[in-house]
Chain A
Amino acid sequence: MAERTDVDLMLAFQKGDESAFSALIERHRNTVVNLAYRYVGNRQDAEDLAQEIFIKVYRARDRYQPAAKFTTWLYRVAVNASLNEVRNRKHRPTFRAASLHAAPDGEAALPVVEDVDSASPLEALEQSELHREVRRAVDALPERQRLALLLNKFHGLSYEELAETFELSVQAVKSLLTRARQNVRRMIEPHLNPNAAPAPGQKESA
């Protein structure tokens, strides 16, 4: 039997098939956790946020229309949950938010960069500094810029898909991404070595 599509699963879930919801979580949990992890910068908050996103999917199931691509709808739910999470954080100063309290808590939460290609401790150090600066720069972005940048870079969303996800025009998405890149650039430029960086060519798809 052919594997059920996301839309099939979502329609079954709307009719009360709980196992379809389990299958959707299984299928998309790494995508959601990856987005959340890069968004908040530490694992524990990322897992909490991913949990919240799937709770929203559960509760919003009746609003899903099969005409929409499931992943676009999922990303829209994820974006709204992520933006709400930030709003809630502002009322919870103890939240382990790298984005709001980059140091010292956020710094401690940063994962170690495993740079197996480093030829020397100096290069490893430079790489680890670059990682810290990139994390800081991404954390400092306004939330919508950060989400748009991550969805474009790591989840391969086109401008059209981003426009649908954020409910913006393509032109507004273009501007959002440009501002995001300019802001990141401003913070990390001293740590860049443009000549060592070939064009990325393609984006990671999950």
Chain B
Amino acid sequence: MKPETLSAYLDGELSPEEAARVEQALRADPALEAELTTLRAVDRALDVLPGCEAPDDLEQRVRAALATRRRGRLIMLVSAAAAAAAILVAVLLTQGGAEQTGGLPEVPVATEYEWEFDEDLYQCMGLDAIEEAVLEELGTT
């Protein structure tokens, strides 16, 4: 018998027909019966893992963390916007100067670039936070 079947039997997840087949097999096979007893003991052993009460101030902590992160994201959003504006100004100034001197030197440009989304990098750079902040500021909160 598959281990999955015995495990599902223990969980009461088999159909009545399947359960009846398992019970028949258990009666005929003491080794299988012993296996089920061990599985039950393993399940019961997990009862030693204690639970715990939630702290009374959990909600305050959640709300404080939300407020702090929202402020942090706004600062990041403003910084990112300022940086983008600075780059734009720099590019415009450079292009203006270049036009006066006969154009920019020709730079080889990659014709194909495979861009792959890197979630770790995205999170690491705080881009997910910026995205969330933008969405929130646009009225989702």
Smallest CB–CB gap between A29 and chain B, Å?
A: 4
Chain A residues, Cβ within 8 Å of B66: 55, 58
Given A158-B13, A178-B4, A189-B38: A32 in contact with B54 (beta carbons within 8 A): yes
- Expressed in whole angstroms, the Cα–Cα distance for A48 and B69 within the complex equals 15
> Which residue among A25, A149, A196 has the maximum number of chain B CB atoms within 10 Å of its CB?
A25
- Expressed in whole angstroms, the Cα–Cα distance for A178 and B3 within the complex equals 7
Q: A147 contacts the other chain (Cβ, under 8 Å)? A: no
Judge whether B48 and A30 touch: CB under 8 Å: no
The contact of B59 among A25, A37, A154, A175, by CB within 8 Å, is A25
Given A26-B59, A159-B13: A197 in contact with B44 (beta carbons within 8 A): yes
- Expressed in whole angstroms, the Cα–Cα distance for A130 and B88 within the complex equals 64
Chain A residues, Cβ within 8 Å of B44: 197-200
The stretch from A4-12, A70-78, A117-125, A179-187 touching chain B is A179-187
Which DSSP category, helix, strand, loop or mixed, fits chain A's interface? helix
Q: A142 contacts the other chain (Cβ, under 8 Å)? A: no
Judge whether B45 and A159 touch: CB under 8 Å: no
Smallest CB–CB gap between B120 and chain A, Å?
A: 9
Judge whether B54 and A30 touch: CB under 8 Å: yes
Given A181-B7, A181-B39, A185-B38: A55 in contact with B49 (beta carbons within 8 A): no
- Interface residues of B, CB < 8 Å — how many? 35
Smallest CB–CB gap between A108 and chain B, Å?
A: 16
Which A residues from 125 to 140 make CB contacts under 8 A with B? 127, 130-131, 134-135, 138
Judge whether B4 and A175 touch: CB under 8 Å: yes
Judge whether A197 and B62 touch: CB under 8 Å: no
A-B interface pairs (CB < 8 A), number: 125
Which DSSP category, helix, strand, loop or mixed, fits chain B's interface? helix
B35-72 vs A, CB cutoff 8 Å, 1 = contact: the mask equals 00111111111111111111100110110011001000
- Expressed in whole angstroms, the Cα–Cα distance for A46 and B111 within the complex equals 50
Judge whether A188 and B42 touch: CB under 8 Å: yes
Judge whether A130 and B48 touch: CB under 8 Å: yes
B89-116 vs A, CB cutoff 8 Å, 1 = contact: the mask equals 0000000000000000000000000000
Judge whether B48 and A50 touch: CB under 8 Å: no
- Interface residues of A, CB < 8 Å — how many? 54
- Expressed in whole angstroms, the Cα–Cα distance for A38 and B52 within the complex equals 9
Judge whether B13 and A185 touch: CB under 8 Å: no
Chain B residues, Cβ within 8 Å of A113: 48, 50
- Expressed in whole angstroms, the Cα–Cα distance for A194 and B46 within the complex equals 13
Chain A residues, Cβ within 8 Å of B49: 38, 131, 134-135, 138, 154
Chain A residues, Cβ within 8 Å of B55: 33, 47
A residues bordering B, Cβ < 8 Å? 22, 25-26, 29-30, 32-34, 37-38, 43, 46-47, 50-51, 54-55, 58-59, 62, 111, 113, 127, 130-131, 134-135, 138, 149, 152-154, 158-159, 174-175, 177-178, 181-182, 184-185, 188-189, 191-200
Q: Give the 7 A-B residue pairs with the shortest CB-CB distance, closest first.
A: A29-B54, A33-B54, A194-B41, A34-B51, A197-B41, A178-B7, A197-B44
B residues bordering A, Cβ < 8 Å? 3-4, 7-8, 11, 13, 34, 37-55, 58-59, 61-62, 65-66, 69, 132, 140
